[in-house]
A and B are shown apart, each in its own frame.
Chain A
């Protein structure tokens, strides 16, 4: 049973077509890596999944709910889909603890003490329990991104979306974030990860996709994708990044 179904999803920005009919299915617990050149529509596609962007044609069904303009649906979906951004987007005026407990308290209406307990658990899981009372500005990039992961997890999402989570990080911090993500993948979370970290893709991905010019040009197992790509564009892309 697939948890996300996309059928022929199309999206225009003005006259420019960013997505030219994307179809895919993702099963529960699956880890999908999307890669592709810059501007190929990767971000746009995963942002459509939690409706940060609206697709104009085709349909997206997340956990049985079709994404439409109905506000109720959008809120349900957003509570089930966590997202981690390239630029972290932590709330700079709140402490790490407040960043993580904000949504559970205000959106899920949980008690403060339960939320804080859960937040500490998550901070332990991403390896920075000692940073709870600091402000994001006092943390390194890698720590901030791990807080962002904890913040998304605090809503108990069924699906996690990652949009180039390590692209804004210094090389020495990339590993700590990838480790947190690997741990998450192994715990059985459904994940869609836009990344160019090929090591990560090889190790944890169940499938790898290549986007180019708004289309999905290749879909494959990691081994096949890297060692034996079907598509010429994949070969070109791999030769450029490896």
Chain B
């Protein structure tokens, strides 16, 4: 035991005080961190702060003005996301194992941290009272300090002992993921939190009574947790089923669209439009696709392929500007993409069969999503959009990456294309989008975009914002990916050519996977930027997560007056942003490591 401590102490000395320079750095940083912590602790604990301004406004933070009667829709959205996560974690369950001693090591370090900060935490704090006098109060009494110190010390020593016992027990890293959800959900059941209660005179009862969190969150979260766990096992069970991973990846892509156009939105469906519009359009396009798949490789028909493709492309572009239903425009676009892939794949019966299935599923999905997206919403939110608070931030972040990422890939490939027209268009889009600030694009979306869109096309503000966001992040993604494309040695293209791969296969199987891998870190930082930049939408009158904390709650005086409690809310907002971005960058580091195997 003594030897172990000595060894650790020596390692510590070597890493922190190896030279004069590093000693100065160590002491300087410690001093800064210490002061920051003491200031922050005093700020958080002082009695003029009302943290219930944060805690009791969770609903506002999450969904803003979304009506309570439709909360089930919010829960379904959250639940589906967790079910998808569960299945994916199961499907992609890694075989990486960790030893328990690494957990003990983590706990030991946490214990050390808690001990340190408990010791250095200030006993008193001062703040400016309403009348301008300085008020000093005790925030961390000696008994509280001891009450934390002693059990922590015991636990820390225990963990130190455990970690050095070299217990030979390892677990699969994926199997403990459920703990991340289990612990908060369990806490919901057992922890009582202060809740604002008013007496007969509508005065706030002080001190705030402690209550368990109401069933409104406890029960749904528990259900979600159970479904998450079941989904995880389903994922493991189907781990080896071919293609399921591909299906899952595409489903992830569709999930936000589904949430956006159906679940959150509660569309009011006009059956007349479905019967006379959607269904006929669906059948027309399905049959065109079917005929294309079946006959395109017929030697006689094949001669006219380029004419056929030309007609469809012209039709797609013309379709944007003439008054045909939205669904028809989208189908035309899909058909033009589809027709480019068909000849290469429909060479065998098996290829034809899967093409037809893909075409059918894609059309059904498109029709379904567009019907939901184009219909009036049944949710009544006075004065603002149905997305607000975290739901809006999340939506923008997801679209900022999900939609813009494939768009970025296409733009990057287009910019590297051999066809001059494609190259010019893609370069033009990228340069135009990047040379104008995001805020300008937001104003463009809110004020100008309607003028540019062809007559008869009308989107609500959020859709317009999503469109400019997709292009904006897409342009940045494109430039990153282009960098990755350029980093691929010529030999890779030649090797792919030499084994007879088609240009599509070369791009999809050799070039893109390597290019994307090379730029994961930059892609993640772009995604993080997109997530944070979403708070700029406040400028065009949308209520994102930050706006709730900064403006909405601070202006709230009924039933409880929260005016003047902006700082608590801003700290909370910052912490939430930090948790998400930090998790994202940590995950990407893991992914990088795993993919790093394939590097030279």
Contacts and interface: CB of A to CB of B under 8 A. Distances in A.
A24 to B, nearest CB: 21
B499 A151 contact: yes
Contacts of B514: 91-93
Interface stretch (A15-23, A103-111, A174-182): A103-111
- Most A CB within 10 A of own CB, among B498, B509, B600: B498
B34 interface: no
A97 interface: no
Interface in B442-496: 489, 491-492, 494-496
Interface string B138-163: 00000000000000000000000000
Given A78-B499, A92-B514, A109-B348, A136 B600 contact: yes
B599 A103 contact: no
B66 to A, nearest CB: 44
Given A93-B598, A135-B597, A135-B598, A85 B491 contact: yes
A93 B517 contact: yes
Given A93-B517, A106-B509, A109-B348, A137 B598 contact: yes
Contacts of A205: none
A136 B502 CA distance: 23
A83 interface: yes
A87 B490 CA distance: 11
Interface string B87-126: 0000000000000000000000000000000000000000
Interface string B565-600: 000000000000000000000000000000101111
Contact of B495 (A79, A89, A135, A137): A89
B510 interface: yes
Nearest to A112: B242
A130 B599 CA distance: 20
A12 B496 CA distance: 24
A192 to B, nearest CB: 14
B501 A106 contact: yes
B273 interface: no
Nearest to B504: A106
Nearest to B513: A93
B502 A85 contact: no
Contact of A82 (B498, B501, B513, B595): B498
A224 interface: no
Interface in A145-202: 151-152, 155
Given A102-B509, A107-B505, A109-B348, A92 B599 contact: yes
Contact of A91 (B351, B492, B597): B492
B500 interface: yes
A50 B598 CA distance: 28
Given A94-B598, A137-B598, A152 B499 contact: yes
- Interface size classification for chain A: 20 to 34
B494 A155 contact: no
A107 B599 CA distance: 25
B312 to A, nearest CB: 21
Given A85-B491, A109-B348, A92 B600 contact: yes
B500 A91 contact: no
Nearest to A51: B497
A90 interface: yes
A52 B517 CA distance: 26
A75 interface: yes
Given A85-B491, A89-B491, A91-B492, A103 B600 contact: no
B501 to A, nearest CB: 6
Contacts of B348: 109
B492 to A, nearest CB: 6
A52 B494 contact: yes
Given A87-B491, A89-B492, A106-B509, A78 B598 contact: no
A155 B500 contact: yes
- Most B CB within 10 A of own CB, among A85, A103, A152: A103
A75 B598 contact: no
Contact of B505 (A85, A87, A106): A106
Interface string B319-357: 000000000000000000000000000011001000000
Given A106-B505, A137-B598, A78 B497 contact: yes
Given A85-B494, A89-B491, A89-B492, A75 B600 contact: no
Contacts of A89: 489, 491-492, 494-495
A195 B497 CA distance: 22
Nearest to B496: A91
A102 B513 CA distance: 14
Interface in A115-140: 135-138
A167 B513 CA distance: 29
Contact of A102 (B489, B499, B598, B599): B499
Nearest to A109: B348
A137 B509 CA distance: 18
A155 B351 CA distance: 20
Contacts of B347: 109
Nearest to B501: A107
Interface in B206-247: none
Given A85-B491, A102-B509, A109-B348, A52 B598 contact: no
Contacts of A83: 498
Contacts of A155: 499-500
Nearest to A77: B500
A92 B351 CA distance: 28
Contacts of B489: 89
A52 B498 contact: yes
B132 to A, nearest CB: 66
Interface string B492-536: 101111111110010001100110010000000000000000000
A110 B36 CA distance: 64
A90 B501 CA distance: 14
A106 B347 CA distance: 12
A89 B351 CA distance: 30
Contacts of A106: 501, 505, 509
Nearest to B517: A93
A152 B500 contact: no
- Most A CB within 10 A of own CB, among B502, B595, B597: B597
A166 to B, nearest CB: 17
Contacts of A82: 498-499
B495 A90 contact: yes
Contacts of A135: 597-599
Interface string A60-86: 000000000000000100110111010
A87 B348 CA distance: 35
B344 to A, nearest CB: 11
A90 to B, nearest CB: 7
Contacts of A102: 499, 501, 509
- Most A CB within 10 A of own CB, among B499, B513, B595: B499
A102 B492 CA distance: 14
Interface string A36-53: 000000000000001010
Given A87-B491, A92-B514, A107-B505, A50 B600 contact: no
Given A52-B494, A109-B348, A103 B598 contact: no
B492 A78 contact: no
A151 B501 CA distance: 13
9 contacts: A50-B497, A50-B498, A52-B497, A82-B499, A89-B491, A91-B495, A106-B509, A109-B347, A151-B499
Given A91-B495, A91-B510, 8 more contacts: A78-B497, A85-B494, A91-B514, A92-B598, A93-B598, A107-B501, A109-B348, A152-B498
By Cβ-Cβ distance, the 7 closest A-B pairs, closest first, are A89-B495, A103-B499, A89-B491, A78-B500, A93-B598, A83-B498, A79-B500
